[in-house]
Amino acid sequence: MTPRVLLKGGRVVDPSRKVDARLDLMMAEGVVEEVGPRLAARGATVIDVKDLVVCPGFIDIHTHLREPGREDKETIATGTRAAAAGGFTAVCAMPNTEPVNDQAGITRAILERARVEGVVRVYPIGAITRGSAGEELAEYGDLKEAGCVAVSDDGRPVASARVMRRALEYARAFGLVVIDHCEEPTLGAGATMNEGPVSTLLGLRGAPAVGEAVVVERDIQLAELTQGRVHIAHLSAAASLEAVRRGKARGVSVTAEVTPHHLFLTDQAVKDTEYDTSTKMNPPLRAEADRRALLEGLKDGTIDCIATDHAPHTVDDKKVEFDQAAFGVVGLETAVALGLDRLVATELIDLPRLVALFSTNPARVLGLPGGSLAPGSPADVTVLDLKRKRQVDPARFESKGRSTPFAGWILRGGPVMTIVAGKVMWRER
Amino acid sequence: MSAFPHRHLLGIEPLAPADIQMVLDTADGLKEVLDRPIKKVPVLRGKTVVNLFYEASTRTRSSFEIAQKVLSADSLSISTATSSVQKGETLLDTAKNLEAMNPDMIVIRHASSGAPHFLARHCRSAIVNAGDGAHEHPTQALLDALTLRQRKGRLKGLRVAIVGDLLHSRVARSNLWLLSKMGASVVLCAPPTLVPPGIERLAPVTWRIEEAVEGADAIMVLRIQRERMTGGYLPSPREFFNLFGLTEERVRRAKKDVLILHPGPMNRGVEIASEVADGPYSVILDQVTNGVAVRMAVLYLLLGGSAGGTS
């Protein structure tokens, strides 16, 4: 039997119930038992969280755990440790493993490994198409039954509108959301960064932002046609945001996420770092006008979630010429601190909105348990300290991946404790 | 004389006008050595330079090699066709291994933009960019500037047209930086498919070559690579020549004493007519000679010499 745990004296921020007050939180049997003022300990283990913020556990809706197949880049063990150290109590694992998670057997193997070695909850995402080859639909019924919470061909955009249409239609039968990496495959062929004045000066081949926006628009139109549910992964362009805003306004079932690197950096970073490969990811860092539009979308609610797109790679994959380097950077251990320092401390958004973006909304978008501290909810809790200052030091990451464009940044505020099912899984030392 | 304030030559963009001036003045000073009966001075005796060429090159590589020999540096050229790169060695490993032999300088030509910056980050040697992807080719721009300055006596106020494949050209980028920094006025000309986005922030762009060359003091013609013809950028070499090729008729719109430059290798009948390439205003072979002088200056300044040359 798990011991009862009482978090005492914290500021409880639970956007699911519009709570923001100094309250105690009692957890028992892996669920939230009670939230209220001055709760009696009644034999529970008491953790003093005075001056700290208590939130429903953060869920990263877009993580690459790399297992099975690329354990040299990350494993379920190291990836979930990184998640816990970044304040996440759950991660949604993208299916572009080797082999691709396109069958129930692979889903079950991932979940079994997560049960044995995982530190936080792992929600697998299944493939949209077999082998993510973009042709035949994967078996959504089986995948859902085995535990997949959504489908996506992330990293391998669904090129065919016909296949996307069928996926949106078929997924309806299982209540699955289709998550799309929106990228028109020919416009940015061979590109290594955003197309614009900076790519011109650097002499690098660029992918224009419209290559994303045309597919976002396509997906929204198809979701409207099919009454399906589409979620736009790592939205990066102002024009894509506008498409989502219009789609939402006319009632299309579309949601969207953004990553911290697209919120806090632009393509100028590639130049400023003199081609450092920690600025190379897909979608690429965009222009300042795009970045400003994304911040606006966070404020007005067009953006539903902040997701890391945590994409660990080996040193060998990144320590090469810029155009030879792998796309992607790690994000689990920096996202929350970046949000607190760059969004909340700067008053771009308030703290409850940030918690919604990291917790309540990801749970709502994919229909996951959690995202709330209502009695009976999973006892998944993220505890934040708004005052502590830390410098981002990749050498201290739990993740095997070390490539981050935020190395050296000094961030005020960050996670200090991660509780999963009533158990403290990580605590800052 | 003051020292050159940079450890590497990665591009023209980071240079101040005074730095460019210093390279050109030093090249002018050193050029005289090339006319001596014994073309050798001991200024870089005991210095080791590695030429690391990941792309084919005739002019640039031989010009660096001659410059090194004239200045008495010990040099070694590695082309990737005959090295461990063929066996899958990474750029970093190649560089680290070369560095274990303690060269004072690595001259690199590479198809990846930013490859020289990557070396500069991981090596102790001075790095000279001999052309990286579509980024920069600084010594080409310096030798072009030296050629213009010799013939025109100045750079400031010159009207220079740069014509051809702007999108893929490192020569265009380096020249654009250099000429703008030195006060020349640049006009760019290419078909819309070969104009990189945002370049109009640096210089005016026109799609009409007649407009670009009007009243020009100099015309720089860029090489158009054969593969661009089939890459969907252009319908055919024939149409390109008809609309954008530098012909005698078009040259007549420029100033009477116009200079024609081309970084080579030329595609005669595609970007430039033979009569123009071999005509009286062509300084294409002067460019080659000046290439040696400019590279001597760069080697000299980066390997510890001071401005002004030898005497």
Q: What are the pLDDT digits (tens) for A61-113?
A: 999 999 999 999 999 999 999 999 999 999 999 999 999 999 999 999 999 99
Higher pLDDT, B265 or B192: B192
- Classify residue A413 as left (phi > 0), alpha (psi -120 to 50) or beta: left
Q: Kindly indicate the confidence band of residue B230, based on its pLDDT and cuts at 50, 70 and 90.
A: low
- State residue B310's pLDDT score: 46
Torsion of CA A315, A318, A319, A322, to 10 degrees: 180
Check: CATH 3.40.50.1370 for B17-136+289-302? yes
A327-347, pLDDT tens digit by residue?
999 999 999 999 999 999 999
pLDDT at B252 over 60: yes
**Pairwise CA distance, residues B190 & B212, whole Å:** 10
**Pairwise CA distance, residues B123 & A328, whole Å:** 25
- State residue B166's pLDDT score: 96
Query: Which among A341, A324, A346, A331 is positioned nearest to A405, based on CA atoms?
Result: A331
Place of tokens 């080719």: B137
Which residues of chain B form CATH 3.40.50.1370? 17-136+289-302, 138-287
Residue A320 has its nearest CB partner, among B91, B133, B170, at B91
B268-288, pLDDT tens digit by residue?
999 999 999 999 999 988 888
**Pairwise CA distance, residues A275 & A270, whole Å:** 5
Most confidently modeled range among B178-187, B230-239, B256-265: B178-187
pLDDT beneath 70, residues of chain A: 1-2
User: Is the minimum CB–CB distance between B121 and chain A shorter than 8 Å?
Assistant: yes
Higher pLDDT, B88 or B172: B172
- State residue B87's pLDDT score: 72
B173-205, pLDDT tens digit by residue?
999 999 999 999 999 999 999 999 999 999 999
In chain A, where the domains are located: 5-53+378-427, 57-366
B51-87, pLDDT tens digit by residue?
999 998 888 999 999 999 999 999 999 877 666 676 7
Residue A200 has its nearest CB partner, among B115, B120, B196, at B196
Decide if A323 and B135 are in contact by the 8 Å CB cutoff.
Answer: no
A149-169 b/e (C-beta count within 10 Å ≥ 16 → b): bbbbbbbbbbeeeebbbbbbb
Active site residue A317: no
- State residue A2's pLDDT score: 67
Q: Kindly indicate the confidence band of residue B311, based on its pLDDT and cuts at 50, 70 and 90.
A: very low
pLDDT at B231 over 90: no
**Pairwise CA distance, residues A291 & A184, whole Å:** 20
User: Is the minimum CB–CB distance between B173 and chain A shorter than 8 Å?
Assistant: yes
List, in sequence order, every beta strand (DSSP E) within chain B. 48-53, 74-79, 105-110, 126-132, 159-163, 185-189, 205-206, 218-221, 259-261
Higher pLDDT, A1 or B101: B101
Active-site residue among A153, A154, A180, A309?
A309
List, in sequence order, every beta strand (DSSP E) within B153-303. 159-163, 185-189, 205-206, 218-221, 259-261
Confidence (pTM): 0.95
Check: CATH 2.60.120.260 for A57-366? no
Q: Please give the DSSP secondary-structure letter assigned to residue B305.
A: -
User: Least CA distance to A323: which residue of chain B?
Assistant: B112
pLDDT at B307 over 50: no
Cis peptide bond upstream of B280, omega within 30 = no
Please give the CATH superfamily to which domain A5-53+378-427 belongs.
Answer: Urease, subunit C, domain 1 (2.30.40.10)
Q: Which residues of A touch B (CB under 8 A)?
A: 195-206, 274-275, 316, 319-324
Specify the amino acid at residue A316: D
Both structure tokens of A16: 């699911």
Query: Which among A333, A314, A324, A42 is positioned nearest to B111, based on CA atoms?
Result: A324
User: Is the minimum CB–CB distance between B118 and chain A shorter than 8 Å?
Assistant: yes
- CATH class of the domain whose range is B138-287: alpha beta
On the question of a common fold for A5-53+378-427 and A57-366, the answer reads no
- State residue B308's pLDDT score: 44
A271-319, pLDDT tens digit by residue?
999 999 999 999 999 999 999 999 999 999 999 999 999 999 999 999 9
